[in-house]
Amino acid sequence: MNTIATLVKGEIGIISEESLDVIPLKLLEMGCLPGVEVELLQVAPLQDPLYICVNGSHLAIRKEMAAQIKIIKS
Amino acid sequence: MEIHKPIKVALIGNPNTGKTSLFNQLTGLTQKVGNYPGVTVDKKQGTCRLSINQTAIITDLPGTYSINPTSVDESIVLTSLLNTTDKDFPDVIVVVADIENLKRNLFLFSQVKDLEIPIILAINMSDQMDRKGISLDVETLQKELQTEVVLISARKNIGIEAVKEKIANCAKVSITYPLCSINHKIDGDYFKQLKAVSPNHTLYELWLMITQNNFPESITDEEKIKLLEFTQDVSMVKRYQHKETIYRYQQINEILKRTYKIDRTKAKDLRGKLDKVFTHKIFGYVIFFGVLLLIFQSIFDWSTVPMDFIDAQFANLSEFVTKQMNSGVLRDLITDGIIPGIGGVVIFIPQIAILFLFVAILEETGYMSRVVFLMDKIMRRYGMSGKSVIPLISGTACAIPAVMATRTISGWKERLITILVTPFTTCSARLPVYAILISLVIPDKKLFGYFSLQGFTLLCLYVLGFAIAIVSAFMLHKLLKVKSTSFFVAEMPNYKLPSIKNVVFDVIEKTKAFVFGAGKIILAISIVLWFLASNGPDSFESVADEVTNNIENSNLSATEVQRKIASSKLEKSYIGIMGKAIEPAIKPLGYDWKIGIALISSFAAREVFVGTLATIYSVESDDENTSTIKQRMRAEINPETGEKRFNLAVGMSLLIFYAFAMQCMGTLAIVKRETKSWRWPMAQLIGMGILAYVASFITFIIFS
Ligand SMILES: Nc1nc2c(ncn2[C@@H]2O[C@H](COP(=O)(O)OP(=O)(O)O)[C@@H](O)[C@H]2O)c(=O)[nH]1
Ligand SMILES: [Mg+2]
């Protein structure tokens, strides 16, 4: 299963429709929506948090959160 | 000419979109910081002249990504927008948006627009459009959004006059339309019934009330009961919120497709390159610690001159007043109570201002967010968040603004732990205490012929402060059973050159908050102390006579007699009695009743320690005119052992005591305010007190 946490640096995926219920409202509101491209930009030195670009927003999210958001690799 | 009532304007927008920059442009130096009633978040207001007979009162609201709040800061925005009956309810809202990320900014705009309050959209950072290859069709956007749109650059001062003009016009227009009619896209029936509950409120207002459980005064009890029924099915409400979000983004995408173009190839990738360096697994930390060292170094280097200057000025002032006034209680109060009290606050301004200068620059440039990213995993091990780094750094100036800086942390447990351990960091009030004790008991030698041993001791105390903060955070993390869902998301803003105006205003604002917040308490305590030291129970009045009677036959000089009287007076005063009373308890730590007096007085604010000792020893000294406080303290003898009172063991024990104990009334008050209960400040007071006692006891044993 592919999630944001399984992306490698520089890789792009598309957030899958089934993730809608697990994405917290706050992340949705910041543009992290199903059907949208997400790119992993950087990984913090201790492998956590992850620095992503989604829908034009540059965000740092924790790995446990990222591991719940399923994606389709493009 | 008729002067119109001022228009009330609120600035709303995502963090880092330039709200504060616009606010500074509009209001200049008229701004002041107050408090929102009932809550603890600062409210920044200022006035702006729109035309000869029309002014506006501008409020800078905290930055937020959505009306639905996830932190204390953000909940202010919701509360201000729902309380339509409040006297500060805005007449006009200016939504400030960043042109580079217009989509996400319009999301917040769409929510605010649905509240049907007169609204203006100010799209900021227009100076960046060429560089980033952005084009925008303002005309069409205005039509699509049914809103006045202004392109501005708060930094370059472009479009500010247009904003003022639109504010003046917009307040006259009363009809507004919702942008997204949430009802029929999600569940027509449900929302129809919801709207029927209260005809005086818009549907979106009612929807916010039930989803955020935030009921303004304009809602009757009866209506509230009805509204609460709509929240029974929690999962359904949540699903509808998700749907609403998606629906809003769909609409925004449609609108932007017709009006907004960005040439992605033009965006130069400076961000990527800088990120690589600043978040590198080795250089990232090296740079961060380099920055920290630079900050601390500068605080010491730059602040000594202004601090010495302030010290001298207050001493001069005291002397001047002593000469000018007739002796009496009032003069004593002013020269021994009030002037040193105010001086004790003012002396910290240089250090605090320098620290906030650095913090403001780091935040303005966007570097602070990278530190949050870099430190989050490490801090989480200790029950905190990457965002706890900022309060911990600010704590080295003063714990009061540091505790306030925890508001951005959204997890309650992470925030609470940060608040509880922040007072361990070495704040500037500890410095004078450390300085005098270190110079008394640590020999002025060089380590390896280069490092000063005294300087090294000070460095160790700093490290000790951080270390104990981390260790206690870890214990609290394991012990505290607090329900909290920690949710972490941090935006990584673009790197920017800091704007001098913003930085200067920020430093002034925070320094002012310290001076008036902590200052009041320190001043009050100084006056109380002065009173306690110059008054006593019945026998106090007769001290002078007794002393004179006792030494009648000895041939002491007049000044020596005076000194003996003063010394006995201190012993018989209220504070002397208190010092004597706690002597048995502090004896194991190596302290006597005089140090006891200093401890009691610094219970309210640590820096009072030095002043108190100065008072005690100045009345006791044999050679008043030539010796400094330090020399007098050094000359003090412990009558039981015949040795020096301030030997290594006592000095070290005191240093440890001051490093650990919670001796700051100002911090306790702010912790009470931020945690909304006395429980946590009391836990801090007792916990840190016990730790300080035990640790100094052990230290005393080791060194004696
Ligand atoms: N290039 C550019 N930068 C700006 C402009 N307005 C603000 N900034 C910068 O954007 C950053 C955030 O601004 P600030 O006013 O603190 O935003 P706030 O968080 O919304 O209050 C700061 O570094 C500002 O200097 C602008 O018009 N153009
Ligand atoms: Mg701001």
> Out of B246, B285, B492, whose CB is closest to A60?
B492
Rounded distance between C-alpha atoms, residue B124 and residue B117, angstroms: 21
Please, which pLDDT band fits residue B193 given cuts at 50, 70 and 90?
Answer: confident
Q: Nearest-5° angle of CA B114, CA B118, CA B123?
A: 85
Q: Is the CB of B360 under 6 A from ligand 1?
A: no
Contact B327, B287 (CB under 8 A): no
Share of chain B above pLDDT 70, in %: 90
Question: Taking each helix axis from N to C terminus, what angle separates B608-620 and B558-572, rounded to the nearest 10 degrees?
Answer: 140
Query: In this predicted model, what pLDDT tens digit does every residue of A12-33 receive, in sequence order?
Result: 999 998 888 888 888 999 999 9
More confidently predicted of B346 and B652: B652
Give the contacts of B546 (CB within 8 A, at least 6 positions apart).
B568
Domain that includes residue A36, residue range: 4-73
Using a 10 angstrom Cβ sphere, with 0-12 exposed, 13-18 middle and 19 or more buried, the burial of residue B679 is exposed
**For B23-37, B382-396, B469-483, B500-514, which range has the lowest pLDDT when averaged over its residues?**
B23-37
pLDDT value at B621 more than 60: no
Helix boundaries (H) for B535-607: 543-550, 558-572, 574-586, 593-601
CATH number, position A56: 2.30.30.90
Cβ-defined contact of A29 to B107 (cutoff 8 Å): yes
Least confident of B143-147, B371-375, B455-459, B639-643: B639-643
Q: How far is B388 from chain A (nearest CA, A)?
A: 15
Domains of chain B, first to last: 1-267 (3.40.50.300), 283-479 (no CATH), 500-703 (no CATH)
Using CA atoms, how far residue B361 sits from B26, B124, B364, B505, B522, in Å, is 22, 20, 5, 12, 29
Q: Report the residue of B66, B78, B373 to disrupt the A interface, i.e. the one with the largest count of A CBs within 10 Å.
A: B373
Alpha-carbon distance A74 to nearest alpha carbon in chain B (angstroms)? 19
- Structure tokens that stand for B600 in this block: 């009691």
For B47, the enclosing helix (H) or strand (E) is strand B42-51
- DSSP codes, B541-553: TTHHHHHHHHTTT
Cβ of B423 below 6 Å from ligand 1: no
CA distances for B536 relative to B379, B569, B597, angstroms: 51, 8, 14
Rounded to the nearest 10 degrees, how much is the dihedral formed by the CA atoms of B657, B660, B661, B666? 130
* Interchain contact, A58 vs B493, CB within 8 Å: yes
Pocket probe for ligand 1: among B14, B21, B96, the residue whose CB has the most ligand atoms within 8 Å is: B21
pLDDT of amino acid B182: 66
Phi and psi, residue B219, nearest 5°: -95, 130
Closest CA to ligand 1's atom 4: B155
CA–CA distance, B519 with B440 (Å, rounded to integer)? 28
CB of B25 shorter than 6 A to ligand 1: no
Burial class (CB in 10 A: 0-12, 13-18, 19+), B104: buried
The answer for residues whose C-beta is within 8 angstroms of residue B224's C-beta and 6 or more apart is B215
**pLDDT of the residue at B625:** 45
Which residues does residue B254 pair with via DSSP β-bridges, in sequence order?
A: none
H/E run at residue B613: helix B608-620
> Based on the structure, what is the number of domains in chain A?
1
Average the pLDDT over B373-378 and give the result.
Answer: 93
Q: What is the pTM of this model?
A: 0.84
| Per-residue pLDDT, B90 | 92
| Cβ-based neighbour number of residue B18 at 10 Å | 24
Percent of chain B with pLDDT over 90: 32
